[in-house]
Structure 1
Amino acid sequence: MSKPFDMELFLAGVLTGSHATRQRHVRQAKIIQTEIAERWQRKTPWAWQRKHVAWFLEHRLDRRSDATRYYYLLTVRLIVHRLEKSWTLPPRERI
């Protein structure tokens, strides 16, 4: 039996800011992880490709407010930084 992926531990090295900000990033990262896992069966960020993250930003957040999309973009940037990838994300006005 395998243990579930710990998103909080994954992001621990790159999280900064207040407690509320860190908790928001962890909560949003778990939502991103769940959505990508349901759509592509990719359970951990290590298995993600740029297209998975772009899909989440463009299609799962399409009816959300600009502020919500912006905060999710910040969380995605932390995930990409933690993965040490050089992905180009969609411009802010497209998400």
Structure 2
Amino acid sequence: MKENAVLRKSPGGKLLRTIARTDGGKIISIKFTGDYFAHPEEAVEQLEAELIGCPTKDVATKIRELLKKHPVEFYGITPEELIASAAEAAE
């Protein structure tokens, strides 16, 4: 098992921390925390749950698919920042 943490803060934006645990090339857990906001509030937890079992190489694509299926409004970060952070943490 491998665990990576990524910390990002864009200029003028909010803090985003992503912690991913991987095993055998798949996500076994991922957590997004920080001082950003998301609406609906439960969307981030739903996203985390749906990424479990995702091949690490497919994390960015999977998040894009999930955000199309379940639109989320982020405040303080962009969807692309979340995607980049998740992909880096999953490496």
Query: If the length of structure 1 is used for normalisation, what is the TM-score?
Result: 0.37
Which has the larger strand fraction? 2
Larger radius of gyration: 1
